[in-house]
Amino acid sequence: MAVGEERAKNRRGIRGWLDPYHYNAERWAYLFQRVTGVAILLYVLGHLGDTSFFVGGPTGTGPSPSAWKFIGSIFENSFGHLILILVVLVVFFHGINGIRLILAEFGLILRKPSAIEYPYKPKGLGQGQRILIYVAIVVAVAAAVWAFLVLFEGMG
């Protein structure tokens, strides 16, 4: 492969994320960790904005029941609650998958190194890491169900 082609292949940027060719569980986990991270940051920025209405918004000077009631009238509805459920879903996935990445970074759940053998297929992650990816998915879905029950069924 020519140097230019090699460089272009290695600089696919966000297209590289969105091209699922030859993706396995680890690669999907990598993609979702980044997508959920950016989504959570966007939510946090919005949450900074809406919670500031507790003190009257950007120009407020102290706790304001009327400003809080105003912002609640915008976000406290079925659509707002649906967004919160999605946030819970991605936060739990991001958190547990992130713990997996930290454990791997410090070498705690890596499989033993082995000799490279023909036909040189890339080896996937060890069982511990695979299990943690599936745990992240299951716990995230369970947390989203819990959020649904709290927000729509009045539990909690």
Alpha carbon 64 to chain centroid, angstroms: 33
Smaller CB distance to another protein: residue 64 or 82? 64
Would you mind telling me the total number of residues written for the chain in this entry? 156
Smaller CB distance to another protein: residue 3 or 48? 48
Q: What is the DSSP string of 124-140?
A: ---HHHHHHHHHHHHHH
Q: Decide: is 148 part of the binding site for another protein (CB under 8 A).
A: no
Residues 71-90 that bind another protein (CB under 8 A): 72, 76, 88
Q: Decide: is 99 part of the binding site for another protein (CB under 8 A).
A: yes
* Dist CA 20 CA 31 (whole Å): 9
Task: Identify the residue among 60, 108, 111, 126 touching another protein (CB under 8 A).
Answer: 60
Give the torsion sign (CA, 69, 71, 74, 75).
negative
For residue 67, the tally of other CB atoms under 10 A from its CB is 17
**Binding stretches for another protein (CB under 8 A):** 11, 13-14, 34, 37-38, 40-41, 44-45, 48, 51-52, 54-56, 60-69, 72, 76, 88, 91, 95, 98-99, 102, 105, 146-147, 150-151, 154, 156
